[in-house]
């Protein structure tokens, strides 16, 4: 009742796309200035939101996109633009303003969606579910989805130790680096979406 090949293929794919090591500096930048208890809760919320979004699209992804007449490239471009706005905030330091740190739950947006549960992960899961024939394959797909989100939570949860080591000055540096990385990721996602539009034309 378990297909190791299906599990490993989807897990590795989601690991590369969702990039648990790469999410660490972004999580640190977006949650800096909050109490440790709040940061731990946000790590759990981000992983939970991402899992919820991925699960919904795994179950109803094709129907949702078809009903709304949304193509995969459009989803990628929209996600890239949203990530680019977040990256610009990190680069300019706007994410450190008091209203931003106190009032906005970044565990929901942009961490949970679209940073973790982004277009790439959503499309990969939709295709994996579609190609999973039989109970063993379906179990393996859902096991891979659950496993990657456990990894994401653990990485974010224990990245809080880094904050206590690098202090405030280090957090500012990490914030700027995260902004650069995220902006590059956002632009690449937009380019991929545009290329898909051109290829399908």
The structural domains of the chain, with segments of one domain joined by +, span 4-11+37-95+106-200
Percent of the chain predicted with pLDDT > 70: 92
Give yes or no for residue 107 having a pLDDT over 60: yes
Q: What is the mean pLDDT of residues 147-170?
A: 84
Q: What is the pLDDT of residue 98?
A: 36
Phi-psi region of 142 (alpha: psi -120 to 50; beta: other; left: phi over 0): alpha
Q: What is the mean pLDDT of residues 8-23?
A: 86
Q: What is the pLDDT of residue 17?
A: 82
Report the range of poorest mean pLDDT among 68-77, 89-98, 100-109.
89-98
Residue 93 CA to its chain's centroid (Å)? 21
Give yes or no for residue 97 having a pLDDT over 50: no
Q: What is the pLDDT of residue 13?
A: 86
Closest among 152, 125, 114 to 10, alpha carbons compared: 125
CA 123 – CA 148 distance, rounded (Å): 16
Q: What is the mean pLDDT of residues 155-162?
A: 84
Q: What is the pLDDT of residue 192?
A: 86
CA 129 – CA 125 distance, rounded (Å): 6
Give yes or no for residue 102 having a pLDDT over 60: no
Q: What is the pLDDT of residue 50?
A: 96
Q: What is the mean pLDDT of residues 66-77?
A: 85
Mean pLDDT, the chain, rounded, equals 84
Percent of the chain predicted with pLDDT > 90: 30
Transcribe the chain into DSSP letters.
Answer: ---HHHHHHHHHHHHHHH-HHHHHHHHHHHHTTS-HHHHHHHHHHHHHHHHHHHHHHHHHHHHHHHHTT--HHHHHHHHHHHHHHHHHHHHHTGGGSHHHHHH--TIIIIIIIIIIS-HHHHHHHHHHHHH--SHHHHHHHHHHHHHHHHHHHHHHHHTHHHHHHHHHHHHHHHHHHHHHHHHHHHHHHHHHHHHHHHHH-
Per the model's pLDDT, the better-predicted residue between 192 and 139 turns out to be 139
Closest among 89, 81, 79, 83 to 175, alpha carbons compared: 89
Give yes or no for residue 101 having a pLDDT over 80: no
Give yes or no for residue 52 having a pLDDT over 50: yes
Give yes or no for residue 162 having a pLDDT over 90: no
Tell me if the bond preceding 110 is cis, omega within 30° of 0. Answer: yes
């Amino acid at each position: 009742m378990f297909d190791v090949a299906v599990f490993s293929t989807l897990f590795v794919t989601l690991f590369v796309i969702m990039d648990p090591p790469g999410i660490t500096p972004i999580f640190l930048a977006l949650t800096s200035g909050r109490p440790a208890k709040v940061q731990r809760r946000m790590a759990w919320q981000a992983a939970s939101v991402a899992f919820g979004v991925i699960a919904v699209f795994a179950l109803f992804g094709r129907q949702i996109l078809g009903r709304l007449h949304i193509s995969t490239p459009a989803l990628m471009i929209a996600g890239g633009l949203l990530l680019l706005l977040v990256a610009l905030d990190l680069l300019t330091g706007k994410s450190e303003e008091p209203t931003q740190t106190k009032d906005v739950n970044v565990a929901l947006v942009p961490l949970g969606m679209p940073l973790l549960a982004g277009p790439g992960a959503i499309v990969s899961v939709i295709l994996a579910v579609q190609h999973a024939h039989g109970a063993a394959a379906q179990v393996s797909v859902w096991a891979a989805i659950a496993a990657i989100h456990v990894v994401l939570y653990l990485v974010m949860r224990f990245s809080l130790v880094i904050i206590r080591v690098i202090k405030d000055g280090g957090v500012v540096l990490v914030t700027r680096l995260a902004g650069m990385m995220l902006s590059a990721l956002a632009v690449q996602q937009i380019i991929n979406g545009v290329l898909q539009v051109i290829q399908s034309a």
